[in-house]
Structure 1
Amino acid sequence: MEAKHHLQRLASPARTASFVLHTAGICSFLASFAYLYIFPQLPAGTVGGDFQFLTILGLALSLVTFSVGYAADLALSRPLFEAKNFLAVCVAPLEVLISVLYWSLCTYDRNLVYPPEMEGGLPLLPDIGFHLAPGVFLTADLLLFSPPWTIRLQEAMILSLCIAFFYWAWVEYCFSYNGFYPYPIFQLLTTQQRVFLFAFSAVLMTGSTVVLKRVYHLVNGGIASGTKED
């Protein structure tokens, strides 16, 4: 197995701290899915089910990413480690975006996120599991167990736009069958306003990629830039 990148703080793939982090993350994500199974948030039989929520899609991607990292630790596999890092470039900024948007909207007006019948929202522990823990776990994995990201600013913007508008298309597809949106804020906006919201979210996701890269280099050394790094 190749030596770790000189900026990577701790060994990974490894059956030590990296394995512990990935195991803890998987347990957290599975606990959130278990809660969702017991307490579904949308009526049974709706197209898309709870996977209409960006939060749940992000949680599923986080579970896949950490499962690949877990397998890499067990097998000490460099290809699986690289696959985990590839997924993390997409998923970590998305989870940071989800946390920022969710807690910001809840602070402003929880009715933008939760329908009237769910006044008060989720209990605190599940709320953290869905809307904070994934971003924390993926950020910790980046800062401690990953080489620096090589994604360029332009690439990050294209990736963010693709994710944002894929989700918009998915939401509209589900709406065409269900007659309602998963988040009340979507119902309050016109089509043009929703386009702006998704485009703005793509910009925020790009910003989260840039911030994560900067924080990585503040913690681990090196210089973050818009160009690819060694």
Structure 2
Amino acid sequence: MALALRGKRAVALLHFICLVWALFALTQNLGVPKSVRKEPDITYGGPWKYLTFLNQVLQTLLYILCVITDVVALCMPSKEKKVSSVVVPFRDFIFSAYVFPVGLFVAVAFWGLYAYDRELVYPRELDDINPSWLNHTMHTTILPLLFIELVICTHKYPRRWKGIWGLCIFSVIYVSWIMWIHHAAGVWAYPVLGVLSPCGQAAFLCTAFFIMLIFYFIGEQLTKWLWARRKKKCT
């Protein structure tokens, strides 16, 4: 009993630290000074046109829900079942359908394109605006946060078709959003889209979606493998 309580406290502490970091990264991203690029680039859609920022919002929401369930479990155990029945399914869906596949994609795609040609994703002029540490809060630290959450907290994946549809709907809405921004303001959220033909853009976006789909399956299988092994050890 004491060990179980100690474990819950440790998980709650880690979740709280992750939440503080996610909030810090999010607020620092919102406070980025104005760009030297053309005005529509910074005004229309603001940071909401970037998948990186949306992923930070999703991660922050996830950790808020995690902290809520942890606090209720530790401080109000009589209400744990009632609160968990509402919060936990929502928390698990956000992690499985959005936070893990999108977060992993953001880190892999950004640094992959950066290594190939940084001008396609993060032009050099941004170095004068975003300090290096802020770039890493947006594109690097999100990766260990994903795996910390995977290890310290079990997440029940939804039925596969529900998770895939959730990711698909999110992707369609996001692509529609950045297309609208280009139509309305004449700017691309990502410079790489500006150097591709319409067919190339379609191929790029479809490839990106299928990569996120692969990451969804990876998250699902890692969760099953990791927590199945732990259950065996406990029996």
TM-score range normalised by the length of the shorter chain? 0.7 to 0.9
Deviations 1:168-189 (A, max 9, x none): 1100111222211121101111
TM-score normalized with structure 1 length: 0.80
Q: CA deviation at 1:197?
A: 1.5
Kindly report the root-mean-square deviation, in angstroms, between the aligned alpha carbons of the 2 structures.
2.7
CA separation of 1:107/1:120 partners in 2, compared to 1, >3 Å: closer, same or farther?
Answer: farther
Which has more helix, going by share of residues? Answer: 2
Report deviation, 1:133: 2.2
Distance 1:92 1:98 in 2: 10
Cα distance in structure 1, aligned partners of 2:93 and 2:4: 17
Tell me whether 1:145 sits opposite 2:153 in the alignment.
Answer: yes
Unaligned runs of 5+ in 2: 74-82, 230-235
Q: Distance in 2 between matches of 1:119 and 1:133?
A: 18
Matched, 1:204 2:201: no
Q: Verify the 8 A CA contact 1:55 1:131 in the aligned structure 2.
A: yes
- In the TM superposition, what are the counterparts of 1:212-227 in structure 2 within 5 Å? 212-221=219-228
Greater gyration radius = 2
CA 121–219 in structure 1, closer or farther in 2 if over 3 Å, else same: farther
- Per-residue deviation, residues 96-129 of structure 1 (Å, max 9, x unmatched): 1111101111111111112352258844422221
Gaps of 5+ in 1: 1-9, 223-230
Q: Among residues 175, 183, 191, which one is paired with 2:182 in the alignment?
A: 175
> Could you tell me whether the CA contact under 8 Å between 1:157 and 1:202 is conserved in 2?
no
Contact kept? 1:114, 1:121, Cα under 8 Å = no
CA distance in 2, matches of 1:105, 1:11: 44
Amino acid paired to 1:177: A
For residues 1-230 of structure 1, what are the structure 2 equivalents within 5 Å?
16-40=9-33, 43=39, 46-76=43-73, 77-78=83-84, 79-90=86-97, 91-118=99-126, 122-152=130-160, 154-221=161-228
Residue type of the partner of 2:107? S
Deviates more, 1:202-211 or 1:73-82: 73-82
1:32–1:130 contact (8 Å) kept in structure 2 = yes
Is contact 1:165–1:198 with CA below 8 Å preserved after alignment? no
Give the SS at the match of 1:16.
helix
- Structure 2 counterpart of 1:58, which letter? N
Does the CA contact (< 8 Å) of 2:65 and 2:91 recur in 1? yes
Distance 1:112 1:164, change over 3 A: same
Count, aligned residues: 211
Aligned residue type for 1:61: L
Tell me the TM-score normalised to structure 2 length: 0.78
Q: CA deviation at 1:198?
A: 1.6
SS at match of 1:180: coil
* 1:32–1:129 Cα contact (<8 Å) kept: yes
Deviation by residue 1:182-222 (Cα, 9 ceiling, x = unmatched) = 21101111222222222111111111111122223343336
For 1:106 and 1:121, the matched residues in 2 are separated by 17
Q: Is the 8 A contact 1:110 1:121 kept in 2?
A: no
